[in-house]
Amino acid sequence: MSPLPTLRQRKKVRTRDALAAAALRLSRERGYERVTIDDITAEAEVSRRTFFRYFASKEAALFPRYGLRLAHFRDQLRERPHGEAPFETVERAFLAVARLYMRERDEIVAQQRVVDASPSLVAFERLLDRDWERAVATALEPARGGGGSAGRRARVLAGATMGAVRATLREWFDGGGRADLVALGREAFALLAMAGAPAARAGGGRR
């Protein structure tokens, strides 16, 4: 069992959550571009210096759980059951993230509406997507390494997978998060398999 968080750790979580909530609330009310870091810190009743202990930029404050979700995804990719093909591992990992999104649906949908209204946040989100794409490419690489044509194939398949994930999330967001994201994800991966992704199932080996 994990040890219970200390008072200091709980305080840090509350401060981080307060900053993220303030950033989201103000951005929804005024528009992201009209909100400053000083506005966020005033709303959360902390100093500007405190803000930068938790977030590297104003953009990052709108994606407060990004690091935790990516870490969860990478953990899922590493925990490959014996005999599971690489592409199946990627599908399972994304479906695990989809379940997290369903549990946090209201917050995620509200956040995405703010992102969609801001060109700078859309660009920032695409930069964050690169980390997910690299994680997928690594999972699809052959056990001997990702050089040559095998590595290129893994990167191409990772790009195609992320495209399908983005399209699936867009459908979910456009519907206000009311649809079953896990079911949509399964359908997307079935379409990827039909389009040629089974090549990933045959290669890769256990990492």
- The per-residue pLDDT for 205 is 42
State the DSSP code for 118.
Answer: -
Boundary of a domain, candidates 58, 75, 96 = 58
Q: Give the mean model confidence (pLDDT) for residues 59-68.
A: 95
Reported residue count of the chain is: 207
- What residue type is assigned to position 33 of the chain? E
What is the extent of the structural domain holding 106?
A: 66-202
**Structural tokens at position 157:** 């398949």
> Is a pLDDT exceeding 50 seen at residue 207?
no
- The per-residue pLDDT for 1 is 54
Angstrom distance (rounded) from CA 80 to CA 171: 29
Domain identity same for 151 and 108: yes
> Is a pLDDT exceeding 80 seen at residue 196?
no
Domain identity same for 130 and 50: no
Angstrom distance (rounded) from CA 71 to CA 121: 21
**Mean per-residue pLDDT over the chain, rounded:** 90
Q: Could you give the dihedral angle defined by the CA atoms of residues 193, 195, 196 and 200, in that order, rounded to the nearest 10 degrees?
A: -40
> Is a pLDDT exceeding 70 seen at residue 17?
yes
Domain identity same for 37 and 106: no
Number of structural domains found in the chain: 2
- The per-residue pLDDT for 203 is 46
- The per-residue pLDDT for 202 is 46
CATH code, domain with 31: 1.10.10.60
- What is the percent of the chain with per-residue pLDDT over 90, rounded to a whole number? 78
82-116 burial code (b ≥16 CB/10 A, e <16): eeebbbbbbbbbbbbbbebbeeeeebbbebbebbe
pLDDT digits (tens, 9 = 90+) for 111-170: 999 999 999 999 999 999 999 999 999 999 875 555 578 888 899 999 999 999 999 999
- What residue has token string 């399209």? 167
> Is a pLDDT exceeding 80 seen at residue 184?
yes
Q: Give the mean model confidence (pLDDT) for residues 38-65.
A: 97
Angstrom distance (rounded) from CA 10 to CA 16: 10
- The per-residue pLDDT for 145 is 55
Domain identity same for 184 and 111: yes
Domain identity same for 181 and 125: yes
Angstrom distance (rounded) from CA 199 to CA 49: 50
Q: Give the mean model confidence (pLDDT) for residues 199-206.
A: 44
